[in-house]
Structure 1
Amino acid sequence: MIGSWLRLSMEAARLAAEANMVIGLRVAKLSRGGPAARKEARRMVSEKVEAAARAAQLTATGGTPLQVVKGYRRKVRANAKRLRKG
């Protein structure tokens, strides 16, 4: 039991650190303005809605909190990779 809570805590901490990095990258992109910033703002909002829906569906169908956190981490890591490129 302790092991699963520890693992969830570690994954959540990693998610928090990775999300913080993405926030910084997005703020930098948004601060430059222009079409790319507008596109990023729209993408950011739609991703949040989609991610919340996926998390709710996973939870409703028996998914674990760890699975939800891992799902968010996959998306956050993909965003970090994309934002670092350009």
Structure 2
Amino acid sequence: MAALAFEAQQVILMRTAMLAAGGPKAKKEARRMVSEKVAAAIEASQKAMAGASADTLIQGYRRKVRANARRLGRG
């Protein structure tokens, strides 16, 4: 859980910088961010209802956060 929190803070920092810069990339990132969050919440809810453990849910979120960190880190 601590690793997820740390990784998420890195993504938040990169996204905040991008959104503050404005422009078409920021607009696209804002839309992407909202749609990803909705999709991740739906996926986690489905897994939880199917009996997935908290660790499984956290690992799912971590995969998504790491993918976002890699994508945002490329600039």
Please indicate the TM-score interval, normalised by the length of the shorter structure. Answer: over 0.9
Answer yes or no: is 1:17 the counterpart of 2:11: no
Counterpart of 1:40 in structure 2 is 29
C-alpha offsets along residues 10-40 of structure 1, whole Å, 9 cap, x if unaligned?
xx10000000000000001111100000000
The letter of the residue matching 1:36 is K
2:41 to 43, 52, 68: 52
Q: Which amino acid aligns with 1:67?
A: T
Q: Which has the larger radius of gyration?
A: 1
Deviation by residue 1:31-66 (Cα, 9 ceiling, x = unmatched): 110000000000000011000000000001111100
TM-score, normalized by length of structure 2?
Answer: 0.98
1:74 corresponds in structure 2 to: 63
**When the two structures are superposed, what TM-score results if normalisation uses the length of structure 1?**
0.86
Q: Distance in 2 between matches of 1:66 and 1:25?
A: 26
In the alignment, structure 1 segments of 5+ residues that lack a partner are 1-11
Q: CA RMSD in A?
A: 0.4
Counterpart CA distance in 1 for 2:10 and 2:64 is: 13
Structure 2: runs of 5 or more not aligned? none
CA–CA separation in structure 2 for the residues paired with 1:30 and 1:15: 22
SS in 2 for 1:62: coil
